[in-house]
Amino acid sequence: MDERIAAVEEMGLPAFRAKQISTHYFSHYVTDTEAMTDLPKDLRGEIQQRFFPHLLTEVRRLRTENGDTIKFLWRLFDGALVESVLMRYRNRVTLCVSSQCGCGMNCPFCATGQQGLTRNMSTAEIVEQVVRANQVIAAGELAEAPTSDMPGAGETALGAEADGPGDGEAANDEEGTATSASGPERVSNIVFMGMGEPLANYKRVMNAVRRFVGPAPEGLGMSPRRITISTVGLVPGINKLAAEDIPVTFALSLHAPDDELRDEMIPVNTRWKADEAIDAAYNYFQVTGRRVSIEYALIKDMNDHAWRAELLAQKLNARGRGWVHVNPIPLNPTPGSVWTASEPEVADEFVRRLIDHGIPTTIRDTRGSDIDGACGQLAAAD
């Protein structure tokens, strides 16, 4: 807010204009100054230019048949393409956001990873994805909340909760709904599981998180626990995140408990080993008191063996009890890829072994897979 005040004062305007502009953007999701009737008419053009540069151009929008999931393809000012996915659940609305154009981590099973990294997204570009999604919700373009609990696609008998990507324990959170305290319905949960490795764009991602959690009109006034930051295991970044004093939900994309396989699946594992990543996740729990999620894409005959479930359980329990929740996700196959999802019985067995060891485990809904909007499938193409 101080920077906004300085910017309006630079224009020769009083400080309260910064608050007005902020309220329009963060509370009403308005970006067209012509609609900001409390601003002097002759200044709206200049305010538009200085405060509301055009950040995201919608190139394409795909909706699932029942309208509860929408995938957006955005073009940024320099032509780079990114995607975000908006998903309605019974008691929340989740937006999966991108943090980088492409990704430099090069995980072989991931569509985004095949593109390489074009550039980091700016804080404003990250925040704007949420504001644009809120505009879409306010316009009634996302289907209404279901009245009954229909199981989501990809769920198995053991997947008790229709859990969205990365929502983890926030799904069981009583606090909040998809409606803000005072205003209309809006995005209630944000997951950094779109394109990019968020901790590789640390500073801008954290600035965006501060805009998400800042009280209105400073920011969107969201609860930190409803924001999930997911990483493939950049250990220094995880430790830095733990020290931020913003208790976001943290998710580690582990995908394999042993280094031999993880080196192959997640190239950055050659730098920080599986045990170091798990230690950092445990440290996150210890520092923040927030239970962490382990994401595990179940890939047929690759990482879905019962012995790997046993090894995973052993490694997690060796650090303590009650600190972690595992989310296995049947892989969303990328066209042309040899990697494919585990058989349901194999996935169930994997889950059963973890549960037998006392580890809360939920197979994640692969919502959006019919529009290529599920995890590992975001690969923006015009």
Which parts of 125-164 interact with ligand SF4 (CB under 6 A)? none
Distance CA 189, CA 180 (A): 11
Active site residue 3: no
Nearest-approach distance from CB 250 to ligand SF4, in angstroms = 15
Angstrom CA distances, 38 to 51, 131, 135, 220, 268, stand at: 16, 20, 20, 21, 51
* Contact stretch for ligand SF4 (CB under 6 A) within 109-117, 143-151, 287-295, 355-363: 109-117
105 binds ligand SF4 (CB under 6 A): yes
Nearest-approach distance from CB 91 to ligand SF4, in angstroms = 27
Tell whether the torsion through CA atoms of 170, 97, 251 and 217 is positive or negative: negative
Nearest-approach distance from CB 2 to ligand SF4, in angstroms = 34
Site string for ligand SF4, 216-235 (x = CB under 6 A): ----------------x---
Active site residue 34: no
Site string for ligand SF4, 174-213 (x = CB under 6 A): ----------------------xx----------------
Catalytic residue of the set 96, 103, 107, 375: 375
Closer CB to ligand SF4, 82 or 107, in the complex: 107
Q: Are 207 and 127 in contact (CB under 8 A)?
A: no
Lookup: tokens for 244: 């931020």
- Which residue's Cβ has the minimum distance to ligand SF4? 113
Closer CB to ligand SF4, 134 or 377, in the complex: 377
Angstrom CA distances, 228 to 143, 293, 373, stand at: 23, 9, 17
Which parts of 16-55 interact with ligand SF4 (CB under 6 A)? none
113 binds ligand SF4 (CB under 6 A): yes
| DSSP output for 106-174 | --TT-TGGGG-EEEEPPHHHHHHHHHHHHHHHHTT-SPPPPSS-PPPTT--TT--S-PPTTTGGGGG--
| DSSP output for 329-368 | EE--PPTT-S--BPPHHHHHHHHHHHHHTT--B-PPP-TT
Residues interacting with ligand SF4, by CB under 6 A? 103, 105-107, 110, 112-113, 196-197, 232, 376
* Active site (catalytic) residues: 83, 375
